[in-house]
Amino acid sequence: MKSSISAVVNGKPVQTSVEPRTSLADLLREELRLTATHLGCEQGVCGACTVLIDGQPARACITLAVGIDGSEIRTLEGLDQDPLMFALKAAFHDKHGLQCGFCTPGMLISAWDLLRRKPHLSEAEIRVAMSGNLCRCTGYQGIVRSIKSAAENWARRAALAQEQGA
Amino acid sequence: MKPAPFSYHRATSIDDALSHLKAGDAMVRPLAGGQSLVPMLNLRLAPADKLVDLTRIDALKQTEQRADCIRYGALVTHAAFEDRRVPDASNGLMPFIGSQIAYRAVRTRGTIGGAVALADPAADWLTTIVALEADVALVGRNGRRTISGTNFAIGPYMTAIEDGELIEAIIVPRRPGSERWGHYKVARKTGEYAESMAIALIDKALGKTRLVVGATDGAPLVLARASREIAAGNAGDSLAVVIRTELADSGRDFSPEKLLLHSTVAMRAVANSEKR
Protein backbone atom coordinates (compact mmCIF):
# COMPACT_ATOMS: atom_id res chain seq x y z
CA MET A 1 0.00 0.00 0.00
CA LYS A 2 1.30 3.43 -0.88
CA SER A 3 1.78 6.13 1.74
CA SER A 4 1.51 9.80 0.99
CA ILE A 5 4.42 12.03 1.94
CA SER A 6 5.17 15.69 1.63
CA ALA A 7 8.63 17.19 1.61
CA VAL A 8 10.53 20.17 0.28
CA VAL A 9 12.97 19.17 -2.45
CA ASN A 10 15.44 21.83 -3.61
CA GLY A 11 13.17 24.51 -2.22
CA LYS A 12 10.02 23.28 -3.93
CA PRO A 13 7.20 21.58 -2.03
CA VAL A 14 6.59 18.02 -3.22
CA GLN A 15 3.57 15.90 -2.42
CA THR A 16 3.47 12.32 -3.62
CA SER A 17 2.74 8.78 -2.57
CA VAL A 18 5.34 6.04 -2.38
CA GLU A 19 5.56 2.35 -1.69
CA PRO A 20 7.28 1.78 1.67
CA ARG A 21 10.19 -0.01 -0.03
CA THR A 22 10.99 2.88 -2.39
CA SER A 23 14.32 4.50 -1.57
CA LEU A 24 14.75 8.25 -1.48
CA ALA A 25 17.22 7.85 -4.36
CA ASP A 26 14.60 6.16 -6.55
CA LEU A 27 12.03 8.80 -5.66
CA LEU A 28 14.48 11.57 -6.64
CA ARG A 29 15.60 9.93 -9.87
CA GLU A 30 12.54 8.11 -11.17
CA GLU A 31 9.73 10.38 -10.10
CA LEU A 32 11.28 13.82 -9.66
CA ARG A 33 13.83 13.26 -12.46
CA LEU A 34 16.64 14.69 -10.36
CA THR A 35 19.30 12.48 -11.88
CA ALA A 36 22.38 14.11 -10.38
CA THR A 37 21.88 11.71 -7.48
CA HIS A 38 23.66 8.60 -8.74
CA LEU A 39 23.09 5.03 -7.64
CA GLY A 40 26.22 2.91 -7.45
CA CYS A 41 26.09 0.14 -4.90
CA GLU A 42 22.54 0.60 -3.49
CA GLN A 43 23.77 -0.64 -0.12
CA GLY A 44 25.23 2.48 1.49
CA VAL A 45 28.88 1.86 0.63
CA CYS A 46 29.88 3.96 -2.40
CA GLY A 47 28.49 7.40 -1.49
CA ALA A 48 27.42 8.33 -5.05
CA CYS A 49 23.84 8.94 -3.84
CA THR A 50 24.77 11.33 -1.01
CA VAL A 51 22.19 14.14 -0.60
CA LEU A 52 21.34 16.59 2.18
CA ILE A 53 18.39 15.80 4.44
CA ASP A 54 17.54 18.75 6.68
CA GLY A 55 21.03 20.07 5.92
CA GLN A 56 22.83 16.87 6.90
CA PRO A 57 24.49 14.52 4.41
CA ALA A 58 22.84 11.12 4.04
CA ARG A 59 22.81 8.15 1.68
CA ALA A 60 19.68 8.36 -0.43
CA CYS A 61 19.91 4.65 -1.37
CA ILE A 62 19.47 3.50 2.25
CA THR A 63 16.94 6.15 3.22
CA LEU A 64 13.34 5.10 2.73
CA ALA A 65 11.37 7.75 0.85
CA VAL A 66 8.41 7.17 3.16
CA GLY A 67 10.63 8.14 6.13
CA ILE A 68 11.49 11.62 4.85
CA ASP A 69 7.96 13.00 5.23
CA GLY A 70 8.22 16.60 6.42
CA SER A 71 11.95 16.91 5.65
CA GLU A 72 13.89 19.31 3.49
CA ILE A 73 15.94 17.53 0.82
CA ARG A 74 18.68 19.14 -1.22
CA THR A 75 20.37 17.42 -4.14
CA LEU A 76 23.27 18.65 -6.25
CA GLU A 77 20.77 20.36 -8.56
CA GLY A 78 19.53 22.36 -5.60
CA LEU A 79 23.00 23.72 -4.85
CA ASP A 80 23.67 25.21 -8.28
CA GLN A 81 23.43 28.78 -6.96
CA ASP A 82 25.46 28.05 -3.85
CA PRO A 83 28.82 29.90 -3.75
CA LEU A 84 30.69 27.15 -1.86
CA MET A 85 29.44 24.55 -4.33
CA PHE A 86 30.53 26.85 -7.13
CA ALA A 87 34.03 26.99 -5.62
CA LEU A 88 34.11 23.21 -5.31
CA LYS A 89 32.97 22.64 -8.90
CA ALA A 90 35.59 25.10 -10.17
CA ALA A 91 38.29 23.33 -8.16
CA PHE A 92 37.21 19.87 -9.40
CA HIS A 93 37.45 21.26 -12.95
CA ASP A 94 40.83 22.87 -12.30
CA LYS A 95 42.56 20.06 -10.42
CA HIS A 96 41.20 17.07 -12.32
CA GLY A 97 38.82 15.98 -9.57
CA LEU A 98 36.90 13.71 -11.92
CA GLN A 99 37.25 11.45 -14.89
CA CYS A 100 34.05 9.57 -15.67
CA GLY A 101 32.03 11.72 -13.27
CA PHE A 102 29.88 8.99 -11.79
CA CYS A 103 31.02 9.56 -8.19
CA THR A 104 31.23 13.34 -8.58
CA PRO A 105 27.78 14.40 -7.28
CA GLY A 106 28.35 12.44 -4.07
CA MET A 107 31.91 13.72 -3.80
CA LEU A 108 30.72 17.32 -4.19
CA ILE A 109 27.97 17.02 -1.57
CA SER A 110 30.26 15.28 0.94
CA ALA A 111 32.99 17.86 0.33
CA TRP A 112 30.48 20.72 0.64
CA ASP A 113 29.34 19.41 4.03
CA LEU A 114 32.94 18.82 5.10
CA LEU A 115 34.12 22.35 4.26
CA ARG A 116 31.14 23.87 6.01
CA ARG A 117 31.90 21.95 9.19
CA LYS A 118 35.72 21.95 9.00
CA PRO A 119 37.14 24.56 6.66
CA HIS A 120 40.80 24.06 7.64
CA LEU A 121 41.88 20.50 7.06
CA SER A 122 45.15 18.81 6.19
CA GLU A 123 45.36 16.46 3.22
CA ALA A 124 45.33 13.44 5.56
CA GLU A 125 42.18 14.71 7.30
CA ILE A 126 40.46 15.27 3.95
CA ARG A 127 41.28 11.68 2.95
CA VAL A 128 39.76 10.28 6.14
CA ALA A 129 36.68 12.52 5.92
CA MET A 130 36.07 11.59 2.26
CA SER A 131 36.61 7.86 2.79
CA GLY A 132 32.88 7.19 2.48
CA ASN A 133 32.87 8.18 -1.20
CA LEU A 134 34.40 5.74 -3.65
CA CYS A 135 35.97 6.68 -6.99
CA ARG A 136 37.17 4.02 -9.39
CA CYS A 137 38.94 6.34 -11.87
CA THR A 138 41.06 9.04 -10.33
CA GLY A 139 42.97 7.25 -7.60
CA TYR A 140 41.71 10.10 -5.40
CA GLN A 141 44.78 12.31 -5.96
CA GLY A 142 42.87 14.86 -8.03
CA ILE A 143 39.86 14.76 -5.74
CA VAL A 144 41.91 15.49 -2.61
CA ARG A 145 43.78 18.27 -4.44
CA SER A 146 40.47 19.75 -5.62
CA ILE A 147 38.99 19.83 -2.13
CA LYS A 148 42.17 21.30 -0.66
CA SER A 149 42.22 23.97 -3.35
CA ALA A 150 38.52 24.78 -2.87
CA ALA A 151 39.09 25.03 0.88
CA GLU A 152 41.96 27.49 0.37
CA ASN A 153 39.98 29.60 -2.09
CA TRP A 154 37.02 29.58 0.25
CA ALA A 155 39.15 30.62 3.25
CA ARG A 156 40.72 33.46 1.21
CA ARG A 157 37.28 34.61 0.18
CA ALA A 158 36.05 34.52 3.77
CA ALA A 159 39.10 36.50 4.95
CA LEU A 160 38.54 39.09 2.23
CA ALA A 161 34.86 39.42 3.11
CA GLN A 162 35.80 39.94 6.75
CA GLU A 163 38.36 42.61 5.80
CA GLN A 164 35.84 44.46 3.68
CA GLY A 165 33.24 44.20 6.40
CA ALA A 166 35.64 45.58 9.03
CA MET B 1 18.45 -4.00 -6.09
CA LYS B 2 15.22 -3.34 -4.23
CA PRO B 3 13.85 -4.66 -0.97
CA ALA B 4 10.98 -7.12 -1.06
CA PRO B 5 7.67 -5.38 -0.31
CA PHE B 6 6.81 -4.62 3.30
CA SER B 7 4.31 -2.45 5.09
CA TYR B 8 5.23 0.56 7.18
CA HIS B 9 3.99 2.30 10.28
CA ARG B 10 5.32 5.63 11.51
CA ALA B 11 5.05 5.33 15.28
CA THR B 12 3.93 8.40 17.18
CA SER B 13 4.84 7.23 20.69
CA ILE B 14 6.56 4.36 22.47
CA ASP B 15 3.19 2.79 23.29
CA ASP B 16 2.09 3.11 19.66
CA ALA B 17 5.34 1.45 18.51
CA LEU B 18 4.98 -1.39 21.02
CA SER B 19 1.41 -2.08 19.95
CA HIS B 20 2.54 -2.35 16.31
CA LEU B 21 5.49 -4.61 17.12
CA LYS B 22 3.06 -7.30 18.24
CA ALA B 23 1.96 -9.07 15.09
CA GLY B 24 1.72 -12.82 15.59
CA ASP B 25 3.68 -14.68 12.95
CA ALA B 26 4.59 -11.67 10.85
CA MET B 27 8.19 -10.45 10.92
CA VAL B 28 7.95 -6.92 12.29
CA ARG B 29 11.14 -4.92 12.74
CA PRO B 30 11.68 -1.59 14.45
CA LEU B 31 13.45 0.97 12.24
CA ALA B 32 15.78 3.50 13.86
CA GLY B 33 18.46 5.17 11.70
CA GLY B 34 18.25 2.34 9.18
CA GLN B 35 21.94 2.44 8.36
CA SER B 36 22.30 -1.32 8.82
CA LEU B 37 18.71 -2.49 8.40
CA VAL B 38 17.98 -0.77 5.08
CA PRO B 39 21.12 -2.10 3.33
CA MET B 40 20.14 -5.57 4.63
CA LEU B 41 16.63 -5.05 3.22
CA ASN B 42 18.08 -3.87 -0.10
CA LEU B 43 20.24 -6.99 -0.25
CA ARG B 44 17.25 -9.07 0.85
CA LEU B 45 19.31 -10.48 3.70
CA ALA B 46 16.86 -9.41 6.41
CA PRO B 47 13.27 -10.46 5.86
CA ALA B 48 10.60 -8.02 7.06
CA ASP B 49 6.84 -7.97 6.65
CA LYS B 50 6.49 -4.65 8.38
CA LEU B 51 8.70 -1.84 9.62
CA VAL B 52 7.78 0.27 12.62
CA ASP B 53 9.57 3.61 12.16
CA LEU B 54 10.70 4.93 15.56
CA THR B 55 12.34 8.11 14.32
CA ARG B 56 9.42 10.43 15.09
CA ILE B 57 9.19 9.39 18.76
CA ASP B 58 10.51 12.42 20.64
CA ALA B 59 10.82 10.50 23.91
CA LEU B 60 13.58 8.40 22.34
CA LYS B 61 15.61 11.47 21.40
CA GLN B 62 15.94 12.98 24.87
CA THR B 63 19.17 13.10 26.82
CA GLU B 64 18.90 13.43 30.56
CA GLN B 65 21.71 14.37 32.92
CA ARG B 66 21.56 12.76 36.32
CA ALA B 67 23.86 13.06 39.31
CA ASP B 68 25.68 9.80 38.65
CA CYS B 69 24.94 9.10 35.00
CA ILE B 70 23.75 10.41 31.64
CA ARG B 71 20.75 8.78 29.99
CA TYR B 72 20.97 8.94 26.20
CA GLY B 73 17.75 8.31 24.29
CA ALA B 74 18.07 5.40 21.88
CA LEU B 75 17.77 7.69 18.86
CA VAL B 76 20.76 9.92 19.66
CA THR B 77 22.87 9.81 16.49
CA HIS B 78 26.58 9.07 16.21
CA ALA B 79 26.98 12.60 14.79
CA ALA B 80 25.37 14.10 17.91
CA PHE B 81 28.13 12.49 19.98
CA GLU B 82 30.78 13.51 17.43
CA ASP B 83 29.61 17.15 17.44
CA ARG B 84 29.21 17.14 21.24
CA ARG B 85 25.56 18.12 20.88
CA VAL B 86 24.91 15.79 23.82
CA PRO B 87 26.75 16.00 27.16
CA ASP B 88 29.65 13.66 27.83
CA ALA B 89 30.72 11.94 31.03
CA SER B 90 33.31 9.59 29.55
CA ASN B 91 36.27 12.00 29.40
CA GLY B 92 35.79 12.31 25.64
CA LEU B 93 35.63 8.61 24.77
CA MET B 94 32.03 8.71 23.48
CA PRO B 95 32.56 11.77 21.23
CA PHE B 96 35.69 10.08 19.87
CA ILE B 97 33.87 6.81 19.19
CA GLY B 98 30.98 8.68 17.56
CA SER B 99 33.42 10.49 15.26
CA GLN B 100 34.92 7.36 13.74
CA ILE B 101 31.92 5.15 13.04
CA ALA B 102 31.56 4.55 9.31
CA TYR B 103 31.23 7.90 7.43
CA ARG B 104 29.63 11.26 8.15
CA ALA B 105 26.62 10.53 5.90
CA VAL B 106 26.01 7.40 7.99
CA ARG B 107 26.69 9.06 11.35
CA THR B 108 24.04 11.73 10.76
CA ARG B 109 21.32 9.03 10.67
CA GLY B 110 22.69 6.01 12.57
CA THR B 111 21.71 5.85 16.24
CA ILE B 112 23.33 4.44 19.37
CA GLY B 113 20.22 2.44 20.24
CA GLY B 114 19.94 0.94 16.78
CA ALA B 115 23.61 -0.02 16.73
CA VAL B 116 23.41 -1.63 20.17
CA ALA B 117 20.17 -3.44 19.28
CA LEU B 118 21.73 -4.97 16.17
CA ALA B 119 24.71 -6.13 18.27
CA ASP B 120 27.05 -6.56 15.34
CA PRO B 121 30.14 -7.89 17.13
CA ALA B 122 32.39 -5.62 15.06
CA ALA B 123 30.42 -2.43 15.69
CA ASP B 124 31.78 0.34 17.90
CA TRP B 125 29.08 1.17 20.46
CA LEU B 126 28.64 -2.36 21.79
CA THR B 127 32.28 -2.61 22.91
CA THR B 128 32.11 0.98 24.17
CA ILE B 129 29.09 0.48 26.43
CA VAL B 130 30.62 -2.68 27.85
CA ALA B 131 33.85 -0.78 28.57
CA LEU B 132 31.97 2.13 30.16
CA GLU B 133 29.84 -0.22 32.31
CA ALA B 134 26.71 1.32 30.81
CA ASP B 135 23.21 -0.06 31.20
CA VAL B 136 20.60 -0.63 28.51
CA ALA B 137 17.06 0.52 29.37
CA LEU B 138 14.41 -1.61 27.69
CA VAL B 139 10.69 -1.00 27.36
CA GLY B 140 8.07 -3.56 26.42
CA ARG B 141 4.41 -4.28 26.87
CA ASN B 142 5.15 -5.72 30.30
CA GLY B 143 6.89 -2.57 31.46
CA ARG B 144 10.45 -1.37 31.77
CA ARG B 145 13.65 -3.09 32.80
CA THR B 146 17.34 -2.29 32.80
CA ILE B 147 20.12 -4.70 31.92
CA SER B 148 23.86 -4.13 32.19
CA GLY B 149 25.66 -3.59 28.89
CA THR B 150 28.03 -6.41 29.82
CA ASN B 151 25.15 -8.91 29.93
CA PHE B 152 23.25 -7.41 27.01
CA ALA B 153 24.89 -9.15 24.05
CA ILE B 154 24.78 -12.92 24.25
CA GLY B 155 26.34 -13.69 20.89
CA PRO B 156 26.78 -12.29 17.39
CA TYR B 157 23.59 -10.31 16.60
CA MET B 158 21.95 -11.92 19.65
CA THR B 159 20.86 -9.84 22.61
CA ALA B 160 18.76 -9.92 25.74
CA ILE B 161 16.01 -7.92 23.95
CA GLU B 162 12.82 -9.96 24.08
CA ASP B 163 10.08 -10.09 21.47
CA GLY B 164 8.19 -6.83 21.29
CA GLU B 165 10.78 -4.95 23.38
CA LEU B 166 12.63 -1.79 22.39
CA ILE B 167 15.76 -0.08 23.65
CA GLU B 168 14.61 3.14 25.26
CA ALA B 169 17.95 4.55 26.40
CA ILE B 170 21.60 3.86 27.07
CA ILE B 171 22.59 4.85 30.60
CA VAL B 172 26.26 5.71 30.97
CA PRO B 173 27.73 6.23 34.46
CA ARG B 174 29.82 9.35 34.99
CA ARG B 175 33.39 8.14 34.75
CA PRO B 176 35.94 9.53 37.22
CA GLY B 177 37.94 12.48 35.91
CA SER B 178 41.14 10.69 36.86
CA GLU B 179 40.41 7.88 34.39
CA ARG B 180 42.32 7.74 31.10
CA TRP B 181 41.02 5.91 28.07
CA GLY B 182 42.88 4.24 25.24
CA HIS B 183 41.33 2.95 22.05
CA TYR B 184 42.67 0.99 19.12
CA LYS B 185 40.89 -0.36 16.08
CA VAL B 186 42.05 -2.37 13.10
CA ALA B 187 39.87 -2.06 10.00
CA ARG B 188 40.72 -2.91 6.40
CA LYS B 189 39.49 0.48 5.23
CA THR B 190 38.70 3.76 7.03
CA GLY B 191 35.12 3.60 8.27
CA GLU B 192 34.75 -0.14 7.73
CA TYR B 193 33.70 -2.56 10.44
CA ALA B 194 36.57 -3.48 12.75
CA GLU B 195 38.67 -6.61 12.42
CA SER B 196 39.50 -6.00 16.05
CA MET B 197 39.04 -3.20 18.53
CA ALA B 198 39.90 -2.63 22.16
CA ILE B 199 39.19 -0.03 24.81
CA ALA B 200 41.27 0.34 27.98
CA LEU B 201 40.04 2.50 30.86
CA ILE B 202 42.85 3.01 33.34
CA ASP B 203 42.49 4.98 36.55
CA LYS B 204 45.81 5.12 38.35
CA ALA B 205 44.44 7.34 41.14
CA LEU B 206 41.71 4.86 42.02
CA GLY B 207 43.77 1.80 41.06
CA LYS B 208 41.10 0.57 38.65
CA THR B 209 41.39 -0.78 35.11
CA ARG B 210 38.92 -2.17 32.59
CA LEU B 211 40.16 -3.70 29.36
CA VAL B 212 37.61 -4.81 26.76
CA VAL B 213 38.22 -6.40 23.36
CA GLY B 214 35.56 -6.22 20.65
CA ALA B 215 34.98 -7.61 17.15
CA THR B 216 35.55 -11.06 18.61
CA ASP B 217 32.75 -12.81 16.66
CA GLY B 218 30.52 -12.59 19.72
CA ALA B 219 29.88 -10.38 22.72
CA PRO B 220 32.81 -8.11 23.66
CA LEU B 221 35.28 -9.76 26.01
CA VAL B 222 36.07 -8.12 29.34
CA LEU B 223 39.62 -9.17 30.18
CA ALA B 224 39.26 -9.23 33.97
CA ARG B 225 42.58 -10.86 34.78
CA ALA B 226 44.58 -8.59 32.47
CA SER B 227 42.72 -5.60 33.95
CA ARG B 228 43.78 -6.60 37.47
CA GLU B 229 47.38 -7.08 36.33
CA ILE B 230 47.47 -3.67 34.63
CA ALA B 231 46.13 -2.08 37.82
CA ALA B 232 48.88 -3.91 39.74
CA GLY B 233 51.51 -2.45 37.43
CA ASN B 234 52.13 -5.28 34.96
CA ALA B 235 53.20 -4.00 31.53
CA GLY B 236 55.20 -4.83 28.42
CA ASP B 237 55.88 -8.38 27.28
CA SER B 238 54.67 -10.02 30.46
CA LEU B 239 51.32 -8.20 30.15
CA ALA B 240 51.10 -9.29 26.50
CA VAL B 241 51.42 -12.91 27.62
CA VAL B 242 48.65 -12.43 30.20
CA ILE B 243 46.34 -10.87 27.57
CA ARG B 244 47.03 -13.57 25.02
CA THR B 245 46.48 -16.35 27.58
CA GLU B 246 43.23 -14.80 28.76
CA LEU B 247 41.98 -14.48 25.17
CA ALA B 248 43.01 -18.07 24.41
CA ASP B 249 41.17 -19.28 27.52
CA SER B 250 37.99 -17.33 26.65
CA GLY B 251 36.46 -20.28 24.82
CA ARG B 252 36.09 -18.34 21.56
CA ASP B 253 38.33 -20.65 19.57
CA PHE B 254 40.49 -17.90 18.07
CA SER B 255 42.85 -18.83 15.26
CA PRO B 256 46.54 -18.05 15.97
CA GLU B 257 46.30 -14.99 13.68
CA LYS B 258 43.18 -13.68 15.44
CA LEU B 259 44.79 -14.27 18.82
CA LEU B 260 47.80 -12.24 17.77
CA LEU B 261 45.59 -9.53 16.26
CA HIS B 262 43.33 -9.15 19.31
CA SER B 263 46.18 -9.22 21.82
CA THR B 264 48.17 -6.68 19.80
CA VAL B 265 45.14 -4.40 19.56
CA ALA B 266 44.54 -4.72 23.32
CA MET B 267 48.17 -3.82 24.06
CA ARG B 268 47.94 -0.79 21.78
CA ALA B 269 44.75 0.38 23.49
CA VAL B 270 46.56 0.17 26.83
CA ALA B 271 49.51 2.09 25.38
CA ASN B 272 47.18 4.76 23.91
CA SER B 273 45.67 5.41 27.34
CA GLU B 274 49.08 6.80 28.35
CA LYS B 275 48.80 9.46 25.63
CA ARG B 276 45.77 11.14 27.22
Q: What is the ipTM of this complex?
A: 0.95
The full set of domain ranges for chain B reads 7-53, 58-173, 180-273
In this structure, the answer to whether residues A93 and A156 fall within a common structural domain is yes
In this structure, the answer to whether residues A33 and A53 fall within a common structural domain is yes
The last residue of a domain, from among A78, A104, A124: A78
Read off the CATH number of the domain in which A20 is found: 3.10.20.30
* Cβ proximity of A61 and A41 under 8 Å: yes
pLDDT of residue B183: 98
Mean pLDDT, range A123-128, rounded to an integer:
97
**Residue contact B102–A132, C-beta within 8 A:** yes
pLDDT of residue A57: 98
Q: For the whole model, what pTM was predicted?
A: 0.96
In this structure, the answer to whether residues A97 and A157 fall within a common structural domain is yes
Q: In sequence order, what are the beta bridge partners of B77? A: B111
Could you give the dihedral angle defined by the CA atoms of residues A21, A22, A25 and A30, in that order, rounded to the nearest 10 degrees? 160
pLDDT of residue B193: 92
pLDDT of residue B26: 85
B206 by Cβ neighbours in 10 Å (0-12 / 13-18 / 19+) ranks as exposed
Mean pLDDT, range A33-58, rounded to an integer:
97
Q: Which of residues 106-145 of A touch B (CB under 8 A)?
A: 110, 113-114, 127-129, 131-133
The chain B residue lying nearest A133, using CA atoms, is: B103
Give the containing element (helix H, strand E) for B185.
strand B180-186
* Chain A interface, best mutation among B7, B8, B45, by max A CB count within 10 A: B8
pLDDT of residue B148: 98
In this structure, the answer to whether residues A139 and A157 fall within a common structural domain is yes
Distance, in angstroms, between A63 CA and closest chain B CA? 7
pLDDT of residue A28: 98
In this structure, the answer to whether residues A129 and A90 fall within a common structural domain is yes
Report how far residue B181's alpha carbon sits from residue B112's, in angstroms, rounded to the nearest whole number.
Answer: 20
CATH architecture of B180-273: 2-Layer Sandwich (3.30)
The chain B residue lying nearest A110, using CA atoms, is: B105
Q: B34 and chain A: CB distance < 8 Å anywhere?
A: yes
Instruction: HSE, CB side, 13 Å, CA atoms: give it for residue B122.
Output: 13
Report how far residue A103's alpha carbon sits from residue A151's, in angstroms, rounded to the nearest whole number.
Answer: 20
pLDDT of residue A166: 64
Report how far residue B251's alpha carbon sits from residue A45's, in angstroms, rounded to the nearest whole number.
Answer: 34
Q: In sequence order, what are the beta bridge partners of B196? A: B186
Report how far residue A88's alpha carbon sits from residue A21's, in angstroms, rounded to the nearest whole number.
Answer: 34
pLDDT of residue A1: 82
Mean pLDDT, range A141-150, rounded to an integer:
98
Boundaries of domain holding A29: 3-78
pLDDT of residue A165: 78
**Residue contact A21–B39, C-beta within 8 A:** no
CA A35 to chain centre: 13
**Residue ranges in chain B whose pLDDT is less than 50:** none
Q: Which CATH class is domain B58-173?
A: alpha beta
pLDDT of residue A49: 98
Q: In sequence order, what are the beta bridge partners of B28? A: B50
**Residue contact A62–B38, C-beta within 8 A:** yes
C-alpha angle B158-B161-B165 in degrees, rounded to nearest 5: 145
How would you write B238-255 as a 3-class SS string?
Answer: HHHHHHHHHHHCCCCCCC
Read off the CATH number of the domain in which A143 is found: 1.10.150.120
pLDDT of residue A13: 98
Q: What share of chain A is helix, strand, coil (3-state, %, to 5)?
A: 45, 15, 35
